[in-house]
A and B are shown apart, each in its own frame.
Chain A
Amino acid sequence: MLLQISEPGQSPQPHQSKRAVGIDLGTTNSLVATVRSGERVTLADEQGRDIVPSIVRYAETGIEVGEVARAAMAIDSENTLSSIKRLMGRGIADVDSSTLAYQLEASDSGMPYVRTRAGLVSPVQVSAEILKTLAMRARASLGGELDGVVITVPAYFDDAQRQATKDAARLAGLQVLRLLNEPTAAAVAYGLDEQAEGIIAVYDLGGGTFDISILRLHKGVFEVMATGGDSALGGDDFDMAIARWAVTQWQLPEAELSGRDWRLLLQSACAAKEQLAQHEDVQLQPALPGIESTLVLTRQQMSHLLDGLVQRTLRACRKVLRDAGISAQEVKDVVMVGGSTRTLYVREQVAAFFDRQPLTSIDPDKVVALGAAAQADILVGNKRDADMLLLDVIPLSLGLETMGGLVERVIDRNTVIPAARAQEFTTFRDGQTAMMIHVVQGERELVSDCRSLARFELRGIPPLAAGAARIRVTFQVDADGLLSVAAEELSTGVSSSVVVKPSYGLSEDEIGSMLKASYQFAEVDMAARALREQQVEADRLLEALDSALEADQTLLSAAELQAMREDMAQLLTLRQQTQDHTALSAAIEALSQSTDYFAARRMDRSIHDALAGHRVDEF
């Protein structure tokens, strides 16, 4: 055993590992994982089950999540919601609800809400319930409040779908360190296990989404070269193809089948699909009353039924290889992720496409959560010396609507994030003080063929002659792949306000009222919660400044150092004494602003250090 001996008064801060987890919030199943004593592990319930089915039931007695909810699917199908991820960040017009066992209703803004016995619920709220369940399991297992979580999303998720996921985390009261792309998470788990170097492809076919990413692994850097896929293609579609075949074979009247009938048919289709991973053929028992005969489905027949879907994934693979500028031969390893890659036909076809046996050494159901846990452990600050770096990309191009409904690209797909682009606009009428900017995402030329993300209204433009005002609009995509917009009028330097109207998302107000509703109590609790949040933020800032001072005190003059210490002491006192969250929030903001220069100097120093030793004169 190693004993650490320190001088009195210089003892290092007790190394307290922070509680961080990775969450794979899947269409069909969800998992939570953490790093415990250096080892990545998924967290199981008391019965030893890692997987939480992504199913939420609004029961008479309250909300149920996971296996309990699944058990009630057949008896309470209208209030038992599965595959909710497919509705995240979508408009009602995008959703094929014919085979859903639950009832959708459009909100005023065209968002799908589910009608349950507990009233209308949005997909974001349903996802938040799944997250709460996972977080509860994690708190119990790690013994306390979580310091941060990494939540995975399909790489091919657009901005609205990512934002919806982040909103769900907020409703669940989680501190999101990062939204991580699922194939990137899988690459991390795989890369860390195998110490791999070189180019790998991650083929990720889940319950409802398909991703294909090409990454270059080199000395702890995971660089995504290109990503592609289909955010509405997965194992659910396999089940549907098999169920439709069964409907034809049993000569059922398709138009008369209820949501509940479909659910039974899909369950039996899914069971058949899973059994065919082990057996050459399988019998389908009558799924509905009134059916007399059993059906036999062979592997070969199933391959035939799934072929169109599998070929779609391979087309996406071809495209992503082109985007990455490499050939299939240059790919060293193909990593299989997602439960749907258990289907043998998928494995065969992927093997043939890349001309090598795909790797399935890490459990395809767990690999994403395990990778997310590794990233969470580093982001939360438990591994300060870690060399790992993830460089990810934006999956779909961002563009603006221009004259005639055409799209002007602002940021191309596969651009490394974070990324920004500034664009200048001018007014076309005298005295014009507002203008609308419509942001879309997608690869097509026409606005109507892309997804509408949001309309940004710029207000407060100084009234000038037409064409005289020059407004610079900056589009920033952060490391989560989320877009934000800022605007400034250049001739006067006035910053215009930007009002966002998300096309398929919840507004701040809606989230606010959902948050309130989820507390069911009086305003006291809201205030208590807000105070708690600000206290956490104050602690974070003070802790960050403490460790920054410890490392880089020399960057400050004696006077600066003293002033900073005084300001910090003041904030600490306020944090311990005040009950007023707005006062605390203002003090935090003030301290952060007054220490901006220190943060900037530290950044500059680290740039300098990063390049130390190689300067221009080397050449």
Chain B
Amino acid sequence: MDFRQNYFELFGLPVSFAVEQVVLQQRYQELQKSLHPDRHAAASSQQQRMALQYATYVNEGLATLKSPLKRAGYLLQLAGLDVRSEANTTKDVNFLMQQMEWREALQEANAATDPFAVLNSVRDEVGQARDGLYQRFVSAWQQGDADSLAQAHECHRQLQFMHKLLDEVDAMEERLDD
């Protein structure tokens, strides 16, 4: 396979933030029906090795295009930006302040009379802010010039914080459930 083919091409989808999930799943299954190592279990070890690599690449493609956060990062990568670098962290002070407030609210949730209510309200607020960031990301990415892409990159950095926070809300709810 041409590993230079990007994931959108691999799945026969247009390069876009909006991905029709049903179509993605359907294409994915079609690809795996011919590439998965199970389809080559009786073949030579060479072909098995190849099937392993291909199926892995298709799985990575699915994981990337399925998750909005990964998809956003991937679009930036295709546009030539380095989204993986360690030094890649937001310097937006207001944003960081807001993050700290949410985190404090979460910590206090443990002691609250109705911790689930606190969790839900944090979840709603963060969720709204996240959705706003995605909108800003999409329009900046669509503009496509260097400045706009830098803005899209900043949105992506902040989105990573948002998703991490939402994961923590879920983890906390899990602990409270048990």
| A and B from one complex | yes
B52 x A595 contact (CB < 8 A): no
B38 touching A178, Cβ below 8 Å: yes
Residues of B within 8 A of A415 (CB): 59, 63
CB distance from A218 to the nearest CB of B (A): 8
Contact B38 A479 (CB under 8 A): yes
Q: Are B43 and A544 in contact (CB under 8 A)?
A: yes
Whether A545 sits at the interface, judged by CB under 8 Å, is yes
A254 within 8 A of B: no
Q: Is A616 an interface residue (CB 8 A)?
A: yes
Chain A residues numbered 360-396 whose CB sits less than 8 Å from any CB in chain B:
375, 378-381, 387, 389-391
Number of interface residues of B (CB under 8 A): 41
For the complex, give the distance between the alpha carbons of A618 and B27 in Å: 14
Contacts of A381 in B (CB 8 A): 41-42
Complex contacts, B11 vs chain A, CB 8 Å: 611
The one of B31, B43, B51, B174 that contacts A322, using a Cβ cutoff of 8 Å? B174
Q: Is the CB of A606 within 8 A of B34?
A: yes
A610 touches B41 (CB 8 A): no
Docked complex: A538-559 residues within 8 A CB-CB of B: 540-541, 544-545
Minimum CB–CB distance from A529 to chain B (whole Å) comes to 18
The reply to whether A599 and B32 contact each other, CB–CB distance below 8 Å, is no
Q: Which of B1, B36, B47, B62 touches A479 (beta carbons < 8 Å)?
A: B36
For B168, the chain A residues whose CB sits under 8 A away are none
A600→B56 contact, CB < 8 A: no
| Contact status B60-A420, CB under 8 Å | yes
B33 on interface, CB distance cutoff 8 Å: yes
Q: Does B55 sit at the interface, judged by CB under 8 A?
A: yes
Task: Report which residue of A315, A604, A614 has the largest number of chain B beta carbons within 10 angstroms of its beta carbon.
Answer: A614
Contact B33 A610 (CB under 8 A): yes
- Known contacts A315-B178, A544-B42, A592-B45; 12 additional CB pairs below 8 A are A18-B42, A148-B41, A177-B41, A319-B174, A416-B62, A418-B55, A419-B56, A596-B50, A606-B34, A606-B35, A610-B27, A619-B14
A379 lies within 8 A of B42 (CB): yes
Interchain nearest-CB distance for A147 vs B (Å): 8
- Chain B residues contacting A593 (CB-CB under 8 Å) are 46
Partner of A603, one of B9, B12, B50, B178: B50
B73 at the interface (CB under 8 A from A): no
Please name the 10 residue pairs, one residue from A and one from B, whose CB atoms are nearest each other, closest first.
Answer: A381-B42, A379-B41, A592-B46, A606-B34, A541-B44, A479-B37, A544-B44, A610-B30, A418-B56, A544-B43
Residues on the B chain within 8 Å of A611, using CB: 11-12, 27, 30-31
User: Which residues of chain B have C-beta atoms less than 8 A from A476's C-beta?
Assistant: 52, 56
Q: Which residues of A contact B35 (CB under 8 A)?
A: 603, 606-607, 610
| Chain B contacts to A: CB under 8 angstroms | 1-2, 9-14, 27, 29-39, 41-47, 50-52, 54-56, 59-60, 62-63, 170, 174, 177-178
Task: Give the shortest distance, in Å, between B29 (CB) and chain A (any CB).
Answer: 5
8 interchain pairs (CB within 8 A)?
A: A319-B174, A375-B38, A415-B63, A418-B59, A479-B38, A541-B46, A610-B27, A618-B12
- Chain A positions within 8 Å of B, measured between CB atoms, are 18, 148, 177-178, 221, 315, 318-319, 322, 375, 378-381, 387, 389-391, 415-420, 476, 478-479, 537, 540-541, 544-545, 592-593, 595-596, 599-600, 603-604, 606-607, 609-611, 614-616, 618-619
B12-A614 in contact (CB<8A): yes
Give the contacting residue for A389; candidates B2, B38, B50, B51; CB below 8 A.
B38
Complex Cα gap A609–B62 (Å)? 19
Distance in angstroms between the alpha carbons of A416 and B63 in the assembled complex = 9
Residues of B within 8 A of A390 (CB): 38
Assembled-state Cα–Cα distance A619/B11 (Å): 13
- Min CB distance B100 to A, Å, is 21
Using Cβ atoms and an 8 Å threshold, which residues of chain A touch B51? 603
Give chain A residues whose Cβ lies under 8 Å from the Cβ of B60.
Answer: 419-420
Bound complex: CA of A380 vs CA of B38, how far in Å? 9
Chain A residues positioned under 8 Å from B43 (CB to CB): 540, 544
Is the beta-carbon distance between A387 and B47 smaller than 8 angstroms? no
Q: Which residues of A have CB within 8 Å of B54?
A: 603, 607
Contact flag A479-B52 (CB < 8 Å), given A606-B35, A610-B31: yes
Q: Output the least CB separation between B177 and chain A (Å).
A: 7
CA distance A148 to B48 in the complex (A): 15
Neighbouring A residues of B30 by C-beta, 8 Å: 610-611
Complex Cα–Cα for A300 and B45 (A): 56
Contact A479–B55 (Cβ < 8 Å): yes
| In-complex Cβ contact of A387 among B33, B177, B178 (8 A) | B33
Say yes or no: A419 contacts B59, CB within 8 Å: yes
Which of chain A's residues has its CB closest to B62's CB? A416
| B34 lies within 8 A of A380 (CB) | no
Residues from chain B with Cβ under 8 Å of A606 in the complex: 34-35
Contact flag A391-B32 (CB < 8 Å), given A379-B38, A619-B14: yes
Contacts known (A319-B174, A419-B59); A389 close to B44, Cβ less than 8 A: no
A420–B57 alpha-carbon span in the complex (Å):
8
